[in-house]
């Protein structure tokens, strides 16, 4: 199996772009949208149809041109049977991709999955930040209104916490299946990427 870096993250904490940056710097395959794309093919479904069950944010436009996030039924809510079927397939895809080579995997309780599977060459990162930081990032990065930012932080935090609890039995912010918990409030984005790359490289060098 290749080396695997997993990222879990609070909404608005910059966890996903940080994971993408780390994958780029390490030369690892970045796995997030590709997982749902592969799952859609195996299930014979459209990607759009599965996004709501995969905790994915679908950015759309209001009539006035402003953006908003559509999450009709994020993981933790909605049709439990559909979620379970999708997650089973996504789990298979994550394991298969890890067997092929080095990768960075975002979300989907990958930290727990690889830990329980007894995989050794895994480095698990959880990205967090205080509410105000995440609120401002939601506005500046996703171009949400202040009302939308407040609503979506609440909705997505609840969805991710519910999903993680259901899969792992642990609180979403628990350190149990995390090697590093990174608070992004006072850390420069590039410095954070360099830090994770350095720690992961050291972790994998000792086996």
Q: What is the pLDDT of residues 122-169, one digit of tens each?
A: 999 999 999 999 999 989 987 788 988 898 888 888 888 888 998 999
Mean pLDDT is lowest, of 28-32, 43-47, 193-197, for: 43-47
pLDDT > 90 in the chain, percent: 53
- Categorize the per-residue pLDDT at 201 as very low, low, confident or very high, splitting at 50, 70 and 90: very high
For residue 201, the SS3 value is helix
Q: Is the pLDDT of residue 119 over 90?
A: no
d(CA 50, CA 113): 21
What mean pLDDT is reported for the chain? 84
pTM: 0.84
- DSSP single-letter state for residue 129: -
Residue 18 in contact with residue 137, Cβ under 8 Å? no
d(CA 167, CA 187): 30
pLDDT of residue 3: 96
d(CA 167, CA 199): 27
d(CA 11, CA 135): 9
Tens digit of each residue's pLDDT (9 = 90 or more) over 62-114: 445 544 444 433 444 456 677 788 888 889 999 999 999 999 999 999 999 99
Give the CATH H-level superfamily of domain 4-201: P-loop containing nucleotide triphosphate hydrolases (3.40.50.300)
Q: Which two tokens stand for residue 87?
A: 């997650």
Spell out the domain ranges in the chain. Answer: 4-201
pLDDT of residue 55: 53
């Amino acid at each position: 199996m290749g080396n695997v870096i997993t990222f879990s993250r609070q909404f608005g904490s910059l966890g996903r772009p940080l994971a993408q940056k780390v994958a780029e710097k390490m030369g690892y395959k970045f796995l997030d949208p590709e997982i749902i794309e592969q799952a859609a093919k195996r299930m014979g479904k459209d990607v759009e149809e599965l996004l709501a069950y995969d905790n994915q944010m679908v950015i759309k436009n209001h009539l006035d041109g402003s953006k908003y996030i559509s999450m009709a039924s994020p993981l933790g809510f909605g049709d439990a049977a559909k979620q379970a079927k999708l997650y089973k397939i996504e789990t298979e895809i994550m394991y298969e991709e890890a067997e092929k080579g080095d990768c960075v995997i975002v979300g989907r309780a990958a930290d727990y999955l690889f830990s329980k599977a007894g995989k050794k060459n895994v480095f698990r990162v959880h990205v967090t930040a205080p509410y105000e930081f995440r609120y401002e990032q939601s506005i500046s990065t996703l171009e949400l209104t202040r009302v939308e930012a407040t609503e979506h932080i609440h909705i997505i935090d609840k969805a991710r916490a519910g999903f993680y609890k259901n899969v792992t039995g642990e609180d979403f912010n628990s350190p149990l299946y995390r090697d590093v918990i990174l608070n992004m409030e006072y850390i420069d984005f590039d410095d954070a990427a360099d830090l994770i790359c350095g720690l992961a490289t050291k972790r994998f060098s000792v086996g």
